[in-house]
Structure 1
Amino acid sequence: MAIREIYHDAATIEARVAAGEWRNQTLDDCLRRHAAERGEQLVLIDRKWRLTFAELDRLAHRAACGLYQLGIRPGDVIS
């Protein structure tokens, strides 16, 4: 699956921010907020996994630490 970039015009961005639909947050910010607010609520369910927000937050943090130990820093491009 190819990843593509999506661009929005300034008017769309302004309207969505004003409506509260978009915030100036990273995915990590959102995940940490949900983990704090509803840590034990299930967020991912499939045949193999059942993860709560708190568990997903811990796994994401572990992955980020692993990348950091490999020398990868915020803003670096990886493929």
Structure 2
Amino acid sequence: MTEQADIAELSFEEALKELERIVSRLESGEAQLQEAIDLYERGDRLRRQCAARLDAAQARIEAIKLDSEGKPSGTTPFAAG
């Protein structure tokens, strides 16, 4: 399994926890240069995976439409911003 496939298999929560561990390791300053580079690259892939999962979740959110009497009449896709 490639590293990208490995990351794709992680849940959002798992990816975020690993990303937090990577950030902590990098902030500690204890990693040697090559390890820091490798950690940064994996962290960037994890960040992109988390962002993609959030974007997908946001696209699935729907807003409830109300009729003129204030009663639910259907849903519309979420519109950010």
Structure-1-length-normalised TM-score? 0.34
Rg bigger for which structure?
2
Higher relative contact order (CA 8 A, sep 6+): 2
Structure-2-length-normalised TM-score? 0.33
